[in-house]
Chains A and B, each alone.
Chain A
Amino acid sequence: MSWSTMPVSRRGLVDTAINGEGCTDQVILNQWYPLAAIVELRPGISYQTVLLEVEVGFGVTLNGELIAWRLDCVVIPAGNPLPAENFTDKLLVQSAYGYLWTSLSAEPKELFSIPETNEPDRRSINVATIGIATSAPRAVENFLDMGHFPFVHAGVLGAEPHTEVFDYNVEIKDGEIIATGCKFPQPQAAPSSVGAIVTDYIYRVPHPYCVLLYKSGGFDESRLDVIGLFIQPISQERIRASMFYSCVDNISSDTALRRFQLGIFSQDKPILENQVPKRLPLSTTAETPIRADKSSITYRRWLSDLGVTYGVISAN
């Protein structure tokens, strides 16, 4: 089949109702985004997705090489074999933390590092990649939020009546948001934990659409579990979110780890899809922040300062 002559269909993937002019936001265009967990890709087969309202093809070749390209340049319908030869209009790709990352920019900002993943005895998995009808910043903010644990994750990450959010520190360091000293009493912090413990958290926002959480409560007290939320923005109000999990737990099976984290993930989805408006309002008067929302307040201000306009409602 002559794949390069296939007609380009822009319907289906991009939600025309939401679709505006696409993304013109340089800060957002210059980032790396995850498209899929590499282990979940069948070598030699092409996949198709949408990134920032641009249709993108991607896959891993039979030689194990990662590729991604703009579908409006080279059309290979999803499920068709990938060509053996190189083609010219490729997007930059890289493999990191088990995912295939790409960027629409020729000179993207360097992807953040997670030094812990270099430790040889750690297990890192993709818990799941799920579609959520919300903006990327709403999802990041939800991930940063502890106040919802007793209500949305009752019996797992929190339980009434213990609802108080104690003061913690937030700062911007080396271009990232870091929140430390976060504590929350949790009935079951991790699949391997038995009984309630007060869990210590550290949050990191190294990328406008990616967020990481370090927490105790695993096997080894001195080693922190890392949970990440890496977002592929489809449009301003639709995302695919991948949950990354890296831990030092040599007992639980991958399935058990996945089931636990996926359970949490799926409790947040309906909340996110019922937030109005879907884009994150950056004006300080649009919603009602409280002290517990320090990290969210910092995140909103940080997005404003970076000049992010995509997936948000700007302050003015």
Chain B
Amino acid sequence: MALSQPTENICSMTTQELTQNDPISNWYPVANADDLPFRHTFHGKLLGQEIVIWRADDGNVNIWVNRCLHRGVRLSRGLNNGAELQCQYHGWRYANRTGGCTYIPAHPVDSPAQHLSCKTFPAIQSHGIIWSGISPEGVPPKLSFLDGLTPLNLRSLPAKAPADSVNEHLSKYMFHPDNQTDGEGSSLVTTKAYDNYFQITATVANSTSTLALFAQPVDEQSTIIRGVIGVPHNSQNVLTVLRYHNNLMCKLRDVIEADFELKSKISNTFAAVSNPRSATRNIANNSGSVSFLKVRVARKWSTAKDVVGLELLPIGNQQLPTFLPGAHIDVFLPNGITRQYSLTNGPGELDKYRIGVKLEQVSSGGSKYIHETLSEGSIIEISTPRNNFPLRRDSTRTVLIAGGIGATPLLAMAQVLEKQKLNYELHYFAQSDEHLAFPEILNSLGNNCIRHFGLSVEETLAKVRESLGEHNSSENLYVCGPGPMLEATRNIAADLGWPDESIHFEYFKNSKIVSFESSFEIELARSALTLNVPAGKTVLQILRDNGIAMPSSCEQGACGTCIVKVLAGQPDHQDVYLNDSEKKRGDKMLTCISRALSNKITLDI
């Protein structure tokens, strides 16, 4: 932060006005660090904007617009579970760091739209103070007078006066370093005025004491006075010091309020920020959807036999986008190969992405490259998370069945279920202890993680059958693993009476034999176009050839990214993404792989 010329006046108070720079670009104190105890939510206000402040279990301080995106309820009344903030009205959940919406309980199977994010403000904690601003520049003030001392926050005092008027008085604050004598006349006072705070030193004989005072502009008529003073470590005097200043400050506040005549002039800044109409618009962060981002491989380690873990960090102070449990990212490797990997992050864990990569026996260069060539410090490109494997959080029992490296998306799910204290079991089938990926995450799940080692195919299937049991309403199964195991688990579940919609699965790849022989016509209902799909070409390719942008990811009918609605005609699915009842309904298909059984098929494009 640029400091204005500090002024020093011995034995008198400075009369210099604070430089009036744009309030929007300043850092202001908005709370004391101890206003944010474990799992608390704190209601604040800055420049007319109501904010909610909460600390996640990873220590990160979140400052957001204090309004739920759904129906405007103050989020400061919500619940902080250490990873997500839950609105009190309909239970929408928002992730630590991004403010991205991760769950809408009224629609447990839908993934919230990716752009649904609370507006966030920067937050920095220093000197026992939480700093923020509307769009602050630089860094909060560095209070070097506190070096070697313990910072002590004075009691914050609300005053009914605008910040300008408060500042005029703060510069005249007088006190005595003995913490008992009335400030008036007894001390040698040095005041330095910075852009948005005062540093005042009182000296008598050879004792001195220094403090900093800040005015937090709440709105056009009120201010919170905050202060921080340094005391020696392990001082016995803390209460005396606090009481002494509290007393003097209260007197000063009375003077400020009495002196203040309501200024009718309302600065445009306030009007812009606090206008109720503007508050109702664009409450979501509209950062535009970035679909690719560059990340740095911050850590690469062996997490199990033939499996490496990668920690991917954003570059600079970018924020990684919100993900939902079960999400995967595309990794674009420098050798030109693209691979999908599931995120193993826990809820609200958005300082990094963590993936696990197994060395494939017959690697076409993806996993082999990562294992052998990719090094810590490399920069790679990834896609934003794709949430195609959403987790319901309204089950009375959730069974997660993982085979080998298929555990990765289920790890993310298990951590959410664990954090929300929902009833679930994670059955992890592996050859041996050494083959279990991310043991530290598994340990954090306690008894809900059940490990099965070295079972034969029959034994595995028997275990699956036993773990599933009969289906009761509101129970859901998520399964991920090698193709044959997945198929078998689905069959067992169906056999035990688990309905299709309770069985959720994610394939790594489509191991079925797929044919591209047929040729047919596609009619695009919304674009009024009819196109021919010849043998050897996919619907996706034809769409793109004709200038129609379609998202896609795995391009082998496994991830569901390229799904479209079918309005007429009969699809030849060939994918492993849709479940049997969805296939039977025939109202959706995956453009990367599905074809038509009829001569013509009408798509909602």
Contact = CB atoms under 8 A, between A and B. Distances in A.
Nearest to A166: B106
A163 B74 contact: no
27 contacts: A147-B90, A150-B91, A151-B89, A152-B89, A160-B91, A161-B394, A161-B396, A163-B108, A164-B108, A164-B394, A165-B107, A271-B73, A271-B77, A271-B89, A275-B71, A275-B72, A276-B73, A277-B280, A281-B72, A287-B71, A287-B280, A287-B283, A290-B70, A290-B106, A291-B106, A291-B107, A313-B277
A141 B70 CA distance: 13
Contacts of B284: 288
A277 B68 CA distance: 11
Given A150-B105, A287-B70, A290-B107, A163 B91 contact: yes
B98 interface: no
B89 A276 contact: no
B302 interface: no
Q: With a 10 A CB-CB cut-off, give which of B50, B67, B77, B89 has the most chain A CB atoms.
A: B89
A271 B89 CA distance: 7
Main secondary structure of the interface of B (DSSP, over half): loop
B276 A313 contact: yes
Contacts of A222: none
Interface of B: 50, 66-67, 69-74, 77, 88-91, 104-108, 116, 276-277, 279-284, 393-396, 422, 474
B70 A148 contact: no
A276 B88 contact: no
A285 interface: yes
A283 B283 CA distance: 13
Nearest to A292: B106
Contacts of B283: 286-287
B312 to A, nearest CB: 30
A181 to B, nearest CB: 16
Contacts of A145: 90
B123 to A, nearest CB: 21
Contacts of B393: 161
B60 to A, nearest CB: 24
A94 B396 CA distance: 51
A274 interface: yes
Please list the 7 inter-chain residue pairs (A to B) with the smallest Cβ-Cβ separation, ordered nearest first.
Answer: A163-B105, A292-B106, A286-B280, A161-B394, A165-B106, A147-B106, A274-B74
Contact of A288 (B69, B77, B277): B69
A162 interface: yes
Contacts of B281: 283, 285-286
Given A277-B280, A290-B106, A151 B422 contact: no
Given A161-B395, A283-B280, A152 B107 contact: no
A276 B108 contact: no
Given A161-B395, A288-B69, 14 more contacts: A150-B91, A151-B89, A151-B91, A152-B88, A152-B89, A163-B394, A164-B107, A164-B108, A270-B77, A276-B50, A277-B72, A281-B72, A287-B280, A313-B276
B474 A161 contact: yes
Nearest to B277: A313
B88 A151 contact: yes
Contacts of A160: 91, 105, 394
A74 to B, nearest CB: 37
Nearest to B282: A285
A230 B515 CA distance: 64
Contacts of A151: 88-91, 105
Nearest to A281: B280
Contact of B276 (A148, A271, A277, A283): A277
Interface in A202-261: none
B279 A276 contact: yes
Contact of B90 (A148, A274, A283): A148
Contacts of A276: 50, 66-67, 72-74, 279
Contacts of B77: 270-271, 274
Q: With a 10 A CB-CB cut-off, give which of A151, A276, A283 has the most chain B CB atoms.
A: A276
A47 B282 CA distance: 45
Q: With a 10 A CB-CB cut-off, give which of B66, B70, B106 has the most chain A CB atoms.
A: B106
Interface string A152-169: 100000001111110000
A165 B105 CA distance: 8
A286 B72 CA distance: 9
B548 to A, nearest CB: 27
A160 B396 CA distance: 9
Interface string A272-303: 00111100010101111011100000000000
Nearest to A268: B89
B91 A288 contact: no
A271 B106 CA distance: 18
Nearest to B109: A164
Contacts of A147: 90, 105-106
A286 to B, nearest CB: 4
Interface in A156-197: 160-165
B279 A277 contact: yes
A161 B91 CA distance: 11
Q: With a 10 A CB-CB cut-off, give which of A148, A150, A270 has the most chain B CB atoms.
A: A148
A151 to B, nearest CB: 5
A271 B280 CA distance: 18
A313 B280 contact: yes
A282 B547 CA distance: 37
B322 to A, nearest CB: 15
Contacts of B88: 151-152, 271
Nearest to B104: A290
Given A165-B107, A291-B107, A148 B74 contact: no
Nearest to A296: B71
B73 A275 contact: yes
Contacts of B74: 274-276
A188 to B, nearest CB: 19
A137 B283 CA distance: 21
A313 B279 CA distance: 11
A247 to B, nearest CB: 27
Contacts of B394: 160-164
Nearest to B65: A276
Contacts of B70: 287-288, 290
A164 B90 CA distance: 11
Nearest to B90: A147
Q: With a 10 A CB-CB cut-off, give which of B50, B105, B394 has the most chain A CB atoms.
A: B105
A274 B73 contact: yes
Contacts of A292: 106-107
A291 B109 CA distance: 13
Contacts of B89: 148, 151-152, 271
Nearest to B50: A276
B72 A287 contact: yes
Contacts of A161: 393-396, 422, 474
B106 A164 contact: yes
B103 to A, nearest CB: 10
A274 B77 CA distance: 8
A313 B107 CA distance: 28
Contacts of B279: 276-277
A162 B106 CA distance: 9
A165 B280 CA distance: 26
Contacts of B66: 276
A150 B474 CA distance: 15
A147 B395 CA distance: 17
B86 to A, nearest CB: 8
